[in-house]
């Protein structure tokens, strides 16, 4: 059989529903449904017409047809409740199984519009409607399609966080039992230190401490995380030999010069030396004397 198919079979119209649970075998579950240890509520939404049908307690009038032999799936005789599927429409199905005392043992919702195929007998003849409809449904709303399993606890994936100013972190909320959808509200008791978005993203604003809280929308469940924000480390500075972090030693009015150097055209004398022009005159005089001596000696010979 094809799960998610609407079929005419054995004189009735059925939805074929596949079931998988993590807590017990289908065979055990089906046995409990047959003998009344579990009760089943069925909600069907016609996605095409946007109409919701609620069967508060499904009655297994013909368990031999409704429970497949290997317990891999069950058939829902929807026309027995006055629900008449339409070829071409898409349907979503939710099943909730509870104990007679009302404790939810299992709840599952199909993919949206998953029941969208029809076998050939249905296409040829349409739904099989009994002469007398033995059961009934009530009209529901989209709220009836939500899971009937309620959250029992919330924890945050980190007990504490330390951040530097300007840094970010992400907190995650863990819902118990797993798979239950809960609307969450995040808050910070000191937004001057750290802020938090609706998705649990932290931003460190200033040094200090704060407590981040996540709550269920109804406030029934909550959890907290302690956050410490530290100041960002100061930036590194490059130092010159001698510890000068700004300019080279030199002219206090011109940090681009260093002692003992001159710019082009500068005639400043070295400290303790001769002016440049004096040195040049001395060199010329020496050369002149040397040249005269050479000439005199040569002529004398």
Q: Which of 5, 18, 130 is nearest to 79 (CA)?
A: 130
pLDDT of residue 78: 94
pLDDT higher at 242 or 173 = 173
pLDDT higher than threshold 60 for residue 244: no
pLDDT of residue 212: 97
Alpha-carbon Rg of the chain, whole angstroms?
A: 45
Q: What angle do CA 42, 45, 47 make, to 5 degrees?
A: 160
Is the whole model's pTM more than 0.85, yes or no? no
Average pLDDT, the chain: 81
pLDDT band at 168 (very low <50, low <70, confident <90, very high): very high
pLDDT of residue 108: 85
User: What is the three-class DSSP state of 108?
Assistant: strand
pLDDT of residue 1: 52
pLDDT higher than threshold 70 for residue 180: yes
pLDDT higher than threshold 80 for residue 264: no
pLDDT of residue 280: 61
Q: Strands 168-170 and 201-204: what pairing? A: antiparallel
Point out the least confidently predicted range of 121-125, 137-141, 234-238, 259-263: 259-263
pLDDT higher than threshold 50 for residue 132: yes
Q: Does residue 97 contact residue 105 with C-beta atoms inside 8 Å? A: yes
pLDDT higher than threshold 60 for residue 291: no
**pLDDT (tens digit, 9 = 90+) per residue, 194-218?**
999 999 999 999 999 999 999 999 8
pLDDT higher than threshold 60 for residue 272: no
pLDDT higher than threshold 80 for residue 34: yes
**What's the average model confidence in pLDDT over 145-171?**
91
pLDDT band at 276 (very low <50, low <70, confident <90, very high): low
CA distance 80 to 13: 8
The percent of residues in the chain predicted with pLDDT above 90, rounded, is 56
278: CB partners within 8 A, 6+ apart: none
**pLDDT (tens digit, 9 = 90+) per residue, 58-70?**
999 988 889 988 8
């Amino acid at each position: 059989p094809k799960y998610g198919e609407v079929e005419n079979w054995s004189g009735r119209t059925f939805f074929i529903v596949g079931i998988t649970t993590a807590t017990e075998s289908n065979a055990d579950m089906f046995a409990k449904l047959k003998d009344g240890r579990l009760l089943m509520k069925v909600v069907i939404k016609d996605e095409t017409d946007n109409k919701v049908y609620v069967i508060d307690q499904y009655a297994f009038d013909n368990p031999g047809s409704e429970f497949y032999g290997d317990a891999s799936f069950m058939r829902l005789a929807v026309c027995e409740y006055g629900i008449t599927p339409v070829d071409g429409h898409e349907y979503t199905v939710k099943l909730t199984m509870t104990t007679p005392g009302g404790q939810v043992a299992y709840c599952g919702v199909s993919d949206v519009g998953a029941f969208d195929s029809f076998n050939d007998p249905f296409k040829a003849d349409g739904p099989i409607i009994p002469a007398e409809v033995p059961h009934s449904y009530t009209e529901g709303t989209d709220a009836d399609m939500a899971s009937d399993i309620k959250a029992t606890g919330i924890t945050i994936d980190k007990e504490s966080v330390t951040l530097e100013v300007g840094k970010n972190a992400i907190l995650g909320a863990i819902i118990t039992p797993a798979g239950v959808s809960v609307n969450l509200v995040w808050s910070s008791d000191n937004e001057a230190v750290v802020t938090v978005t609706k998705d649990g993203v932290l931003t460190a604003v200033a040094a200090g401490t704060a407590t981040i809280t996540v709550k269920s929308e109804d406030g029934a469940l909550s959890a907290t995380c302690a956050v410490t924000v530290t100041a960002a480390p100061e930036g590194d500075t490059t130092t010159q030999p001698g510890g000068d972090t700004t300019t080279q030693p030199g002219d206090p009015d011109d940090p681009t010069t260093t002692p003992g150097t001159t710019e082009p055209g500068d005639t400043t004398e070295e400290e303790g030396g001769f002016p440049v022009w004096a040195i040049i005159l001395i060199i010329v005089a020496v050369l002149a004397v040397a040249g005269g001596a050479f000439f005199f000696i040569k002529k004398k010979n």
